[in-house]
């Protein structure tokens, strides 16, 4: 299996993207921002389409769209409003209305760009859309795989670097901001980091399947491990295991798409953890 | 979009433009279906925004994917597969999130697991099916040209049932949404109520996607209710406002789409987002003391006699 170059590329990119998704996903679940992560993964699609319509590199569009939405949520959300009113910047369930509106608007733009793109380029748009929506981890070139691995590793390091204050401000936002932790800034930085990994993972597992790596392993880890450090390690481990297992499965069964296999494994682990816990 | 039907162009004579809109049967059907959906989506969406279940609503709209591809694999109509998957997804979410509003993060993680499962299954169905899913594009982006008389009738029946159930459960649902603990203490079956609401949400999402496309159901499900809840805190007034705004959004969106090559969903989503942004800006400009947004609603709604 390892003799094939596309498998080696997929393993290299997949391992680090999955590790980053697992680690940052643990904080996403802790902070109740799963919907934000989901929205970020979906706006990657209009971003890529807009870039295609404008004729520039797809990744520019991907990263711009996700980081812009992350900033939008950070600025418009309830946490930001509370901070402006002089209170602690806690992320709240009420954010989901703001997320829903921004998300819907950006998807509307995606539909616009898709139509525009297909009017100008004939049939290629459908392939482009499918490529963005579902990812093509087996189609990564060596350079793309190295870039994905580097971004994944950077996100892991940055997340762990701000792990302590982030944990503090997620669990007890009032106390943290009283102690002088910049909770609002941390929240926005965290969302931007989430946007970066959402854009990168979109290329690996696809926009529609990102949740399977971001939220599901982390949710399983939260059910099993109470200790934060054990939880973060476990979330990363489950995500990487699902990635490896999924890739091997997809290699063994050619009719099985790799994205489906990866997500299916991570969901199986999640259901097993709910039975265990 | 309807370029093959005639050569529509927007003139300065508004009366003529409007009469041109209603000249074609498919356009009348689209407008009627859009209006039915706007009313139902507005009412169900109002409750969804109040209950902060937008993520659940979004997940249910994603059920279209395994629904349609599974139906293609089994050889049954796509709409059946969609409605069946929506109902199944609603039950799974109700089961996994425990029905209570306990831990928010636990609940949304459960919803995420349901969505991931559904999408992985959908993608598997597509690759097993092997062929090209012809309906996928109209499913994703909506197809206002294809609304048949039968579809209008079906939507009307579904909407009437959904609105009737909502009216019957309304008071108890509002109570259980605003203060689940007190509602449970009063003997309301909160878990059962939220399960029933999720089922209704699934039906509303499936119906809305016929007009806006799966990707843009929030244009009718979140936009008008969120706008109404920004403007007023009184439940009855904001419900009425939701319906009015929903109808406006659909009519303006479909009207513009008729004269354009772009899908209706894009215009409906844009109008909906613009109305929300306008409302928030206005409220902010007027310098009201309360926080704009739905988070303050429950406290304001509470004293006006919400009793089981």
Whether the CB of B261 is below 8 Å from some CB of chain A: the reply is yes
Identify whether B124 is part of a domain: yes
pLDDT at B268 over 70: yes
pLDDT at A141 over 70: yes
pLDDT at position A91 is 46
Give the nearest partner residue to A101 out of B128, B226, B295, using CB atoms. B226
More confident call, B181 vs A264? A264
CATH number at residue A73: 1.10.3470.10
Residues of B in contact with A271 (CB under 8 A): 113
Which of A79-83, A196-200, B76-80, B302-306 holds the top average pLDDT?
A196-200
Identify whether B17 is part of a domain: yes
Identify whether B175 is part of a domain: yes
Number of domains in chain A: 1
Whether the CB of A267 is below 8 Å from some CB of chain B: the reply is yes
Per-residue pLDDT tens for A15-42? 898 999 999 999 888 887 888 888 887 7
Give the nearest partner residue to B52 out of A38, A96, A211, using CB atoms. A96
Identify whether B306 is part of a domain: no
pLDDT at A166 over 50: yes
- Tell me, what DSSP letter sits at residue A257? -
What is the token pair recorded at A112? 């616009």
Cβ-count burial B92-119 (b if 16+ within 10 Å, e if not): bbbebbebebeebbbbbbbbbbbbbbbb
Number of domains in chain B: 1
What mean pLDDT comes out for the span B204-226?
83
Identify whether B192 is part of a domain: yes
pLDDT at B58 over 90: no
Identify whether B308 is part of a domain: no
Identify whether B214 is part of a domain: yes
Give the nearest partner residue to B270 out of A100, A108, A126, using CB atoms. A108
More confident call, A128 vs A200? A200
Say whether A101 and B269 touch across the interface (CB within 8 A): no
What mean pLDDT comes out for the span A243-263?
86
Residue-range definition of the domain harbouring residue A105:
5-276
pLDDT at position B101 is 44
Alpha helices in chain A (DSSP H): 5-30, 34-54, 58-76, 78-84, 95-121, 124-134, 142-161, 163-171, 173-178, 183-204, 211-214, 216-224, 228-252, 258-276
What mean pLDDT comes out for the span B55-66?
86
Residue-range definition of the domain harbouring residue B289:
2-301
CATH number at residue B36: 1.10.3470.10
Whether the CB of B284 is below 8 Å from some CB of chain A: the reply is no
More confident call, B281 vs A236? A236
Identify whether B168 is part of a domain: yes
Q: How far apart are CA B249 and CA B48, in angstroms?
A: 19
């Amino acid at each position: 299996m390892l003799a094939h170059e596309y498998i080696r590329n997929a393993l290299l990119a997949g391992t680090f993207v999955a590790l980053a998704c697992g680690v940052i996903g643990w904080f996403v679940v802790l902070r109740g921002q799963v919907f934000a992560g989901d929205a970020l993964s979906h706006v990657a699609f209009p971003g890529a389409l807009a870039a295609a319509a404008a004729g520039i590199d797809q990744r520019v569009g991907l990263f711009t769209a996700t980081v812009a939405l992350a900033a939008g949520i950070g600025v418009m959300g309830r946490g930001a409003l509370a901070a402006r009113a002089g209170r602690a910047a806690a992320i709240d369930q009420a954010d989901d209305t703001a997320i829903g509106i921004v998300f819907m608007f950006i998807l509307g733009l995606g539909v616009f760009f898709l139509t525009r793109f297909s009017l100008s380029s004939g049939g290629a748009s459908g392939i482009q859309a499918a490529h963005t929506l579902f990812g093509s981890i087996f189609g990564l070139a060596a350079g793309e795989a190295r870039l994905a691995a580097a971004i994944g590793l950077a996100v892991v390091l940055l997340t762990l670097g701000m792990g302590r204050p982030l944990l503090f401000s997620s669990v007890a936002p009032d106390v943290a901001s009283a102690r002088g932790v910049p909770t609002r800034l941390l929240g926005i930085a965290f969302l931007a980091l989430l946007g970066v990994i959402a854009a990168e993972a979109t290329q690996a597992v696809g926009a529609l399947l990102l949740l399977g790596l971001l939220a599901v392993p982390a949710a399983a880890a939260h059910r099993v491990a109470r200790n934060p450090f054990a939880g973060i390690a476990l979330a990363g481990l489950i995500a990487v295991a699902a990635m490896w297992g999924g890739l091997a499965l997809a290699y063994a069964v050619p009719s099985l798409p790799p994205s489906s296999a990866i997500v299916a494994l991570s969901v199986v682990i999640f259901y097993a953890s709910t039975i265990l816990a | 979009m309807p370029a093959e039907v005639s050569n529509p162009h927007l003139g300065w004579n508004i009366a003529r433009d409007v009469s041109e809109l209603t000249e074609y049967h498919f356009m009348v059907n689209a407008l009627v279906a859009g209006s039915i959906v706007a009313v139902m989506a507005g009412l169900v969406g109002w409750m969804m925004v109040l209950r902060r279940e937008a993520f659940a609503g979004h997940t249910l709209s994603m059920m279209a994917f395994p629904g349609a591809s599974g139906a293609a694999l089994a050889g049954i109509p796509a709409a059946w597969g969609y409605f069946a998957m929506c109902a199944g997804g609603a039950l799974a979410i109700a089961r996994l999130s425990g029905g209570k509003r306990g831990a928010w993060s636990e609940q949304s993680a459960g919803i995420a697991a349901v969505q991931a499962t559904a999408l992985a299954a959908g993608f598997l169905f597509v690759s097993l099916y092997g062929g090209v899913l012809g309906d996928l594009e109209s499913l994703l982006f909506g197809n206002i040209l294809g609304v048949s008389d039968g579809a209008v009738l079906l939507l009307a029946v579904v909407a009437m049932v959904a609105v009737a159930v909502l009216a019957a459960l309304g008071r108890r649902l509002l109570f259980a949404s605003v203060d689940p603990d007190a509602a449970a203490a009063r003997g309301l079956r909160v878990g059962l109520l939220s399960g029933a609401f999720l089922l209704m949400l699934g039906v509303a999402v499936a119906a809305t996607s016929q007009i806006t496309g799966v990707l843009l159901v929030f244009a009718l499900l979140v936009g008008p209710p969120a706008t109404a809840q920004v403007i007023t805190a009184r439940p009855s007034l904001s419900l009425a406002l939701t319906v009015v705004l929903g109808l406006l959004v659909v009519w303006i969106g479909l009207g513009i789409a008729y004269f354009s090559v772009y899908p209706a969903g894009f215009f409906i989503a844009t109008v909906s987002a613009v109305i929300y942004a306008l409302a928030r800006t206005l409220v902010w400009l007027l310098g009201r003391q309360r926080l704009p947004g739905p988070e303050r609603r429950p406290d304001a709604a509470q004293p006006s006699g919400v009793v089981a």
